[in-house]
Chain A
Amino acid sequence: MLKLFRYGFAELSSISQLSRCLSIGACSRAFTSQARRDPSETDEATAAINEGERLNLESDSTRTNSNADPHQNPYKNEMEETFAPFRFVYPEFLPDPTIKWRNRVREKLERMDMLKRRSNIDIPEFYVGSILSVTLSDRNAPGKTNTFVGICIQREGTAMRSMFTLRNVVDGHGVEITFDLYNPTILNITCLRLEKRLDENLRYLRDAPPEYSTFPFDMVPELRNPDAPVPINTLKVKLNPKPWHAKWQLWDLKGVEDFSHELESREWRKLNTWKFSEGYETAKYDLMKTYRSTIPAEEQTEIYSEVHQQLAKLTASLRKQKRKRTFVKPQKTV
């Protein structure tokens, strides 16, 4: 029962700390040892924390405790603040919150596998709305490799099963390809334009005019300051007239122009009924709903404190490789 209360509600902070001590013995030991080591960190760890600081994304549900309990671990808040942005940058390291699918050992093994794969391939930071180029090893292709460019419309799955979908309009025909993020047939992933959109997924682009999802295959990666925050594209997409692939009125879409003139009175009635029955207004106060659909902040901190050192090392080495100019032998021109 104590475990019900998530960390993040200030008045419950001591209870949540107690519950943490009770519920996760071994992991919390690892967590505290990490915290004790905190002041005398290695360079890599400092680099990782800097990495975390530069990603100043708002952490809405991971609210940190401002009026801290004097008996609490003094490093805890600092740690949680540091690792708060990681869940946006590396969302696939967090397990699926469904309780019957949780398995700590499997999750740990999967994280190790993911780090191993990340040491072989540079998986860049990207979000729904970013434009990516993926090169795939394909035995059917003439040069044994196949490249696809498109806008990321969806990210789904966790850990080794995480997937992302790219969409593009080729010769006037919409094409979508779903890639497994950790599939070994992927040779290269490049982020051509790093930006976010207003919605969690952009599946509504299937019902939008093609110009919203048309990107040239020879697109050049845009230069950006690596320390700058990720820009949010507030583009409002104008949907095609109905029929649509899905009932977009039920999705509370932010990045879509007003389509209320498309809806009939029957659909308005249904929409209002649906909003009422789904608890549309009250969902944000539903503690159990939040509990079932999120990973607690303290558990996130454990996970990321486990992997952040290796991630920072990988990021640093891959950045160094990028900075190195590839030597191109000058060719003789007649």
Chain B
Amino acid sequence: MSALKQGIASPLRLFTKTSPLMPLVIRNFHASSCLCRLQLLSRVRCVDNSAIGKQAMAEGKPPKIIHVYNKKRRATIGDKVLMTVKGEMKKGIIVGVKEHQKHGIPRSDTNNVVLIDDNGTPLGTRINAPIPMILRGIMKEKTIAKGADYTKILSIASRFV
């Protein structure tokens, strides 16, 4: 069994990063079309004016998702995610996605995120991107009395579409 596994795996080893053939075999094609899903290790764009977020974007190292706080492990508008930003773990709310959306829900050209702390208070004071109107409903639903208050990010938004 182990020999069989090795037999299957060995041609694939040519394509690993440690392989000497790697410079020759650069895999820059996709077998299927891109679904633009937000999952683990997806890069997102920070659109608020928090110091750490701005710095990470300016350095060309945008936040990377390391956990999605729902059972599907796929993030969409209004989902809370955990990210690494400049080596620190920060939480954020997804406020815009590239994915195809249903009737009347905007789809943005980039995957946008707003950084928050554990109580739902945003780290920045202003959001520069347009925010989907549906986020108002979602954030109100997710807010629990005496728990995290996510409606604060709605009050720092500059524009809703």
Contact = CB atoms under 8 A, between A and B. Distances in A.
Contacts of A299: none
B103 A179 contact: yes
Contacts of B135: 140
Interface string A161-184: 001000000111111111110010
B106 A183 contact: no
Nearest to A166: B106
A178 B110 contact: no
A81 B21 CA distance: 64
Main secondary structure of the interface of B (DSSP, over half): loop
B133 A175 contact: no
Given A139-B137, A140-B136, A171 B104 contact: no
A163 B134 CA distance: 20
A139 B104 CA distance: 12
A146 B130 CA distance: 14
A177 B112 CA distance: 16
A148 interface: yes
A177 B105 CA distance: 6
A157 to B, nearest CB: 11
A173 B160 CA distance: 12
Contacts of A180: 103
Instruction: Place the interface of chain B in its size category.
Output: 20 to 34
Instruction: Place the interface of chain A in its size category.
Output: 20 to 34
Q: Which of B100, B102, B104, B128 neighbours the largest number of chain A CB atoms within 10 Å of its CB? A: B104
B142 to A, nearest CB: 13
Contacts of B102: 178
Contact of B130 (A139, A141, A173, A178): A173
A173 B108 contact: yes
Contacts of A176: 106-109
A97 B159 CA distance: 42
A185 interface: yes
B129 A178 contact: no
A177 B161 CA distance: 9
A217 to B, nearest CB: 9
B6 interface: no
B42 interface: no
Interface string A133-171: 000101111000010100000000000000100000011
Contacts of B106: 148, 175-177
A185 B134 CA distance: 14
Q: Which of B103, B134, B160 neighbours the largest number of chain A CB atoms within 10 Å of its CB? A: B103
Given A163-B103, A174-B109, A177-B104, 20 more contacts: A140-B134, A140-B136, A170-B130, A170-B159, A171-B130, A172-B128, A173-B108, A173-B109, A173-B112, A174-B110, A175-B106, A175-B107, A176-B107, A177-B105, A178-B101, A178-B102, A178-B103, A178-B107, A183-B103, A185-B103
16 contacts: A138-B133, A141-B133, A148-B106, A171-B129, A173-B96, A173-B110, A174-B109, A176-B107, A177-B106, A177-B107, A177-B161, A178-B100, A178-B102, A178-B107, A180-B103, A206-B109
Interface of B: 47, 96, 100-110, 112, 128-130, 133-137, 158-161
